[in-house]
Amino acid sequence: MREALGALLLACSLSATAGGTLLPAHGSVEVAFSPADDTETLLLGVIGAAHRTVHVQAYVFTSRKLAAALVDAHRRGVKVEVLADAGMHRSGRNALPSLLEAGIPVAFETAYAAAHNKVLIVDAGHPGCAVATGSYNFTWSAAKRNAENILVLRDNCAVVDAYLQNWQRHRADATPVSRLPQRP
């Protein structure tokens, strides 16, 4: 009986980590759901709290307010870097030109059918570390019209570091851009 229980517990623990990384719970978790909650203000606060770094992964990025917050962070000495889905940011009403004009490094992900991540990573490896992620694209529609969700995990640097390592893997395969190409 004892061996059977041990085998069951081992099987459960292995299935819980199969294909992923099991990390301990620390810090706080904040949830927000648009359009009922003010998700954009939540993300502006996450960016505003950055002291050292902000790493962004964006599928769609049209929010001028979030772009302005990243530019402000960059101007106050925070290292800001952005990865974006190449197919969604060739031209049009996106916010990447303002980031590029401010000198923020932007790279396009081209190795995937869709680089569908929506992530803000703040101060990885340092006090006040945070990651914001969810279905929320960095757009006005996500804030005001769509049913979206955001999780902000604070002070769990193991989770934040895992997100940063994933960001770095994606960055290694991405193509830096200095301006957006125009569509034909």
Catalytic residue among 74, 123, 126, 144: 123
Catalytic residue among 37, 51, 72, 116: 116
Name residue 161's amino acid.
Answer: D
Verify whether residue 123 is a known catalytic residue: yes
Catalytic residue among 38, 118, 161, 173: 118
Tokens 């969604």 locate to 88
For residue 133, CA distances in Å to 9, 56, 122, 136, 151 come to 31, 10, 12, 7, 5
**CA angle in degrees (0–180, nearest 5) for 84-176-167:** 50
Active site residues: 116, 118, 123
